[in-house]
């Protein structure tokens, strides 16, 4: 994974840690834009690290890359603030795309996990055509600013639509919206 990312001209691998405590120290020292996090770290695990991160004012965004693909792990990571969730079996292109999406303010969930990330199934018919259009863009991992520019509406309007979509679908966070959009808005 490190080799794949280090080959990208717009990415810089700043550090690597083998346990939760080392990862936390590096995170505080280096303050990366994106933290690629395995949930199965020795010591305190990835969930604990995300909890610590949320208690501090770090602007680091989190992309979970792990072998865990069970619903409770996916939903817990997204609820704790992960901006993306990939499987270690996802290919290099998916990883690069996810890092770029997360770094740009977007969200990314492995298509393989879209169904387990949701805690319930809601019919897309309750959304307006504009909300469906925005949900499709969210499912592609686009941030609100980019969606607004593409649809010729303000970033604020996109955010309001996203809030309405999440409320209608009873989703708790943006990553759950991404997962829902991947599954329901091809």
Structural domain boundaries of the chain? 2-117, 124-184
| Cα(144)–Cα(154) distance, integer angstroms | 9
Helix (H) or strand (E) holding 109: strand 108-109
The domain made up of 2-117 is a member of CATH 3.40.50.2300: yes
pLDDT at 114 over 90: no
pTM score, whole prediction: 0.71
Class level of CATH domain 124-184: mainly alpha
- Give residue-wise pLDDT tens across range 138-170: 888 888 999 999 999 999 999 999 999 988 888
* 122 pLDDT tier (thresholds 50, 70, 90): low
**Under a CB-based contact definition with an 8 Å cutoff, are residues 107 and 97 in contact?**
no
- With a CB cutoff of 8 Å and minimum separation 6, the contacts of 8 are 96
């Amino acid at each position: 994974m490190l080799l794949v990312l280090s080959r990208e001209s717009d990415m810089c691998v700043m550090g690597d840690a083998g346990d939760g405590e080392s990862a936390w120290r590096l995170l505080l020292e280096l303050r990366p834009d994106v933290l690629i996090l395995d949930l199965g770290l020795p010591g305190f695990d990835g969930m604990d690290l995300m909890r610590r991160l949320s208690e501090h004012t770090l602007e680091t965004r989190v992309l979970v890359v792990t072998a865990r693909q069970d619903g409770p792990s996916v939903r817990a990571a997204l609820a704790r603030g992960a901006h993306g969730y990939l499987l270690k079996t996802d290919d290099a292109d998916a990883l690069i795309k996810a890092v770029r999406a997360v770094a740009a303010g977007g969200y990314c969930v492995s298509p393989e996990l879209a169904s387990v990330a949701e805690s319930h199934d809601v019919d897309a018919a309750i959304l307006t055509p504009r909300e469906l259009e925005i949900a499709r863009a969210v499912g592609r991992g686009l941030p609100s600013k980019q969606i607004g520019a593409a649809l010729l509406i303000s970033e604020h309007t996109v955010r309001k639509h996203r809030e309405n979509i999440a409320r209608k679908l009873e989703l708790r966070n943006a990553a759950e919206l991404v997962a829902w959009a991947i599954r329901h808005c091809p």
